[in-house]
Amino acid sequence: MNQAILIAVDLLAICLLTFGLYFPRHRRRDLVVAFLGVNVGVLAVAIVLGSSTIGAGLGLGLFGVLSIIRLRSSEIEQHEVAYYFAALALGLISGLSGSLSPLSIVLMALIVLVLYVGDHPSLFRRYRQQSILLDAAFASETELMAHLGGLLGARIRSVTVRELNLVNDTTLVDVRYQVLDARADRADTQRREMPERLESGVVS
C-alpha cells in the first residue's frame, strides 16, 4: 500500500514538473516524452532492484548513464539537464524508499519547488546569452564590447572570444548581456504570444 502511494506521488510530481513547469515555459514536446520516460523507467527499475545493497550502486549507475547521454548530446540546454536530473531523482526517491515517509515526500516536493523557483521567467529575466558571428575582426576587447552593446542595445556583462579570424575579418564570440527594461518586456510578451500564434497558424 505504501509503495502504491509513493508511485502515485511520483506520478503526480513528474506530471507537475513536466506539464506544469517545463512545457508551459519551454514548449519542447520531445523532452516531455523524455522526462516522463526517464522518470517512470527509473521508478520501475528502482522498485524491482531496490534492495539496500543494490540501491546505492543503482542510483550512481543511473546518474552516470544520464551524464553520458548529456555529454553526447548537443541539443540539450543546461536548464533541460536540470529537469532530466529532477525526473531521475524523483523516480529514484520513490522507487528506493520502500515505504512512505515524510522525508521522501519533502525531498520530492523540494525538487519541484527548486525548479519552479530556479527556472522562473521572472528570475534574472533581463539576462541573455548568445553566440554571435561578427563580420569584423575585433582585436580590442573594449571596441568589441562597445560594438556588441550598440548592436544588441544592451549592457554587456561578459564576452568570450571563441575565434578571431583576421583573414576573413570575422569574430566569433559568446556574449552575456543585460537587456533594457523595455526590450525585456517586449521579449517576454513575444515569448508568451508565440506558442498561441503558432497553434492558431498566425505568425507575424
CATH number of the domain within which 194 lies: 3.30.70
DSSP labels, 30-70: HHHHHHHHHHHHHHHHHHHT--HHHHHHHHHHHHHHHHHHH
Number of domains, the chain: 2
Q: Answer yes or no: do 15 and 110 share one domain.
A: yes
Please check whether residues 7 and 51 belong to one and the same domain: yes
Half-sphere exposure of 20 (CA within 13 A, CB side): 12
Residue that finishes a domain, picked among 92, 118, 144: 118
Residue 162 to residues 1, 4, 22, 107, 137, Cα–Cα distance (Å) = 56, 52, 31, 40, 12
Q: What is the pLDDT of residues 148-188, one digit of tens each?
A: 999 998 999 999 999 999 999 999 999 999 987 655 555 55
Please report which confidence band the pLDDT of residue 46 belongs to, taking 50, 70 and 90 as the band edges.
confident
Tell me: the pLDDT tens digits for 85-98? 899 899 988 888 87
Residues 6+ apart with CB under 8 A from 13: 90, 108, 109, 111, 112
Same domain, 26 and 99: yes
Q: Which residues of 175-201 are buried (b: 16+ CB within 10 A; e: fewer)?
A: bebebeeeebeeeeeeeeeeeeeeeee
- Which domain does 67 fall in, by range? 2-118
Asked if pLDDT for residue 200 goes beyond 80, the answer is no
